[in-house]
Each structure stands twice: as C-alpha cells, then as structure tokens.
Structure 1
C-alpha cells in the first residue's frame, strides 16, 4: 500500500492490490471512504493495482460556469494528467461512483483510448437540461467498454439513470442490482466490487 499526494498536492491517493501489476484501475468517489479498499479480500484475488483518489464534494461540483472551468473540470484536468503518468503508456480501467461519476466521464473523454474500461456505479443522471446536454457530449467521445451498475431501488440512480447513460454510450452494458432489505437503499460499492473489478481489470484473476 502506498499513500501520497497527486501531482498538484491537492488530491491524496492510495494504492492497494498488486503493486507491480501491469493493469491499473483508478477509483473515484467522494467522502470519508474515498481512499479505502472496498473489499480487500476481492482485491487480493486480482493481479491489478488499484489507485483510489481522495475527493471532496467541492472537488466534483460542476455548476454552470461563465468564462472559466468549474471545480469538477479543474479536478478532471489534474487527475487526467495524474492517470496518464501512472499508466506508463498502457490503457487503464476507471471507476466512478455516485456523484463522482460525472468526473470519471470527463476524465475518460479527455484521455480517449487511455481508458479502455469504464464502470459507472450508482451514478445519477444529470439534473438539468443543460447538464444533460454537456454530459451527453462527453459520453459521445467515450469508446471504452462501459459497465453501468445501478440499484433497482436506488432513489437517485435506478433504471431510468442507467438507460439514459446507455443511450449515449457506444459500448455499454447495464446490470441492475436487486433491492435488499431497505427498499430505498443506495447501491454500495463493496457489494458489487467483485463484478466491477472483473469488468475494469479483465483477465487478472489469480
């Protein structure tokens, strides 16, 4: 495990999994668990290095901007450069969770072929018409094979959100996760981490 600052010293990052693995997966989510391994037992079964980047809600804020980048756009530019350096010329897998999903989309669009696998987990569809238009434009630029994982009972990212993203991606698969005991529970990354890793780090199971 390694931990340190990203290139501009604004974003902490933590690596776990197999340090010398050829396959790198970058995990983007906000909150207190942003730098944690979702399921260490599952990660250990993959010959892949996972790099989690610490984000705050302010880092992924994307309000309408006039003559200037939004916080999310600035964050995406920095992290895209970071990923390019970490990749050492090889394509990477990228995971965006919840509200960090749009940031992952920005980065994937920016890096083009540098991201060959993308997973969007419980990502809400854009709230405004303007936001939807901007995100749709980014999705049109993404050629990566994309997995959309959404909870059937997720209050903000259920089947409607999954269908919206799929309609704007060239290569996407939707997988809906059945609701658990809580009829309005959010989809938890730890519960689907094994499936997510099998998509963004294919062929690396030990």
Structure 2
C-alpha cells in the first residue's frame, strides 16, 4: 500500500507512494493504469539508477485513496488536479526545510494513466516541462478500440446519476476484484485485466515484474472494484474534460508495436494531437511495454540524472 497519505483541501484523502531520493532535485510523477495503484515501480533498477524523486498517487477508490465523493462524476481532470494540489503543497512544505527543486516536474502515464498525465500538463503548464505517454488508448471515437456493446453501455451509464452509474459498473466488475482476491500469491494474480497478451511473455520474464504487477492489482482492489469502475466511466461515459492540443510540455509517445490494445494507430493519434510530440514504437512488445521502456521514459523526463 502507499507509504503516506495526503489530505486535499476538500477533505478527501489520497494515497501517495514515493521512490528514489527524497531530496533529489528532479521530481518525476508516475500515473498508474486501470486497474492499478501507486505502488507499482516499472523497473526498480532503472528507478534506482536515476537521481530522481518519484511520486505516484492512487486515484480515487484505489489503494489508500478515498472513493469519489457522493454525487461526483469520476473525472480525468480532477485526478490530474489532485496531483497538482499535492505538488504545490509539497513545495510549500519543503521550502522552510531548505529543499530547493526546479519549479517544474516530469510526468509519465501508463495506459489509462497517460490521459491523467496529459490532463495535468494541459491544465497546469506551470508545473510540468516534460511528459511521457506510454501505451495509452486514444479516444474511442478517433481510434475505435472499445467493443460497441461496451461503449453502448457506457453511453447509457453516462445518462445516469453518477452514484447509480458507479454502483452498476462496480457490480459488473466485481469479478475482477474476486479473481484478484482469490489468487494464491502476487505471482498468481491474473494479468489479462492489464491488457497483457502473448506479446508480453518476454516482458514477464523480467525479474520481479509479475510479482510487482500482482502486488499493484492486489492493492488496486483493496476497496473493491470502485476504483477501476470510476476510471472506466471517466474516459468512456463522459468527455475527457481537456484538449491534448493544449499540452505545451515536451512530449514523447511510447507504444509497443505488438500491443493489441493501444498500438501504433493510438500512438500516431496522440502524436498528431499534441504539438511537437515524438512517437517511439518498441518492436515485439505488447501492452506491458512500460517495463522495457521505463529507462527511456526516465531519460526523457529527467535528462542528465543517470548515476
């Protein structure tokens, strides 16, 4: 579970996981997938080899974070605003302690987390200078990827009161939570709900990756399926709430060429939508490309910090 909690001005509590050197000058924010939580480190060796302070927040309903407040629609932009509030408070807290950091951070998002990273960059340009979007599906209306019957369900849920929609979808996703809770150990947690497929067999041979993903999923479902249900509603039932074209930070789009969920067509859409974005595709890798690409992500977000 997260190693600390932060209370927002609204009173909602957010779980926060921190990695690396807490006094490092460069802060890197990592936005987890759906389902997911802040405890996941894509590659601990790469993280340790950088002079960075890595911060990740549990989105509402995941891990150690309170659920979305009653009557509130799950929202990509509100999740991004939680990150901004945490970072601004961190600066106020660290100043009197003599910790001086640059005004801006780097932010990465894997899969659903990529949307949150982009929303953060679009809404808080004063806080970010570099972005990495990894294996993030494009809007379904731009690059179709959601089965029509599921998108129809999301459209119907989008017309319901938020608590009704969240309750209905949570009930439908209870099976995911049950499967994770029934697993015998972190290494036995089913990873198909993360989009892992045959092309990821090689990635899953990486030391400790299967266990780290399993640990993340166990933490993600500690409160049941409400976290992932909220995420799904935030990007399928309602508008995203931001324009990727507003991102001013230096952005790289990374994808796995063998990713059946968010492959090259998705990466190409983001490259066109975000000003001056670069696209990099990793051959022979699927949706778990984050594990292989984490070193590249950190080199983009925190250049010059390798030890």
State TM-score, norm by structure 1: 0.82
Offset at residue 151 of structure 1 (A): 0.7
**In structure 2, distance between residues paired with 1:100 and 1:32:** 9
Q: For the structure 1 residues 157 and 188, does the alpha-carbon distance in structure 2 shift closer, same or farther, using more than 3 Å as the test?
A: same
- 1:11 aligns to what SS in structure 2? strand
Over alpha carbons, which structure has the higher Rg? 2
Count of aligned residue pairs for this structure pair = 193
**In structure 2, distance between residues paired with 1:153 and 1:55:** 28
Q: Which has the higher strand share?
A: 1
Aligned with residue 111 of structure 2, among 95, 98, 122: 98
1:55-76 superposed Cα distances (whole Å, 9 cap, x missing partner):
36889xxxxxxxx764333222
1:44-63 superposed Cα distances (whole Å, 9 cap, x missing partner):
1111100021236889xxxx
8 Å CA contact 2:59, 2:79 repeated in 1: no
Q: CA RMSD in A?
A: 2.8
Q: For the structure 1 residues 43 and 95, does the alpha-carbon distance in structure 2 shift closer, same or farther, using more than 3 Å as the test?
A: same
**In structure 1, distance between residues paired with 2:268 and 2:276:** 13
- 1:140 aligns to what SS in structure 2? helix
1:8-62 superposed Cα distances (whole Å, 9 cap, x missing partner):
3532111111111110001011335531222121111111100021236889xxx
**In structure 2, distance between residues paired with 1:82 and 1:136:** 20
The structure with higher relative contact order (CA 8 Å, sep 6+) is 2
For structure 2, which runs of at least 5 residues remain unmatched after alignment? 64-71, 92-100, 143-234
1:78-116 superposed Cα distances (whole Å, 9 cap, x missing partner):
222112333566100001110121111111111113110
8 Å CA contact 1:77, 1:107 repeated in 2: yes
Matched, 1:202 2:306: no
**In structure 2, distance between residues paired with 1:170 and 1:136:** 18
Partner residue of 1:27? 30
Q: For the structure 1 residues 192 and 15, does the alpha-carbon distance in structure 2 shift closer, same or farther, using more than 3 Å as the test?
A: same
Counting only pairs closer than 5 Å after superposition, residues 1-206 of structure 1 correspond to structure 2 as: 3-8=3-8, 9-30=12-33, 31-32=35-36, 34-55=38-59, 70-86=74-90, 90-128=103-141, 138-180=243-285, 185-206=286-307
**In structure 1, distance between residues paired with 2:55 and 2:6:** 11
Q: Which has the higher helix share?
A: 2
For structure 1, which runs of at least 5 residues remain unmatched after alignment? 60-67
8 Å CA contact 1:94, 1:200 repeated in 2: yes
**In structure 1, distance between residues paired with 2:123 and 2:241:** 14
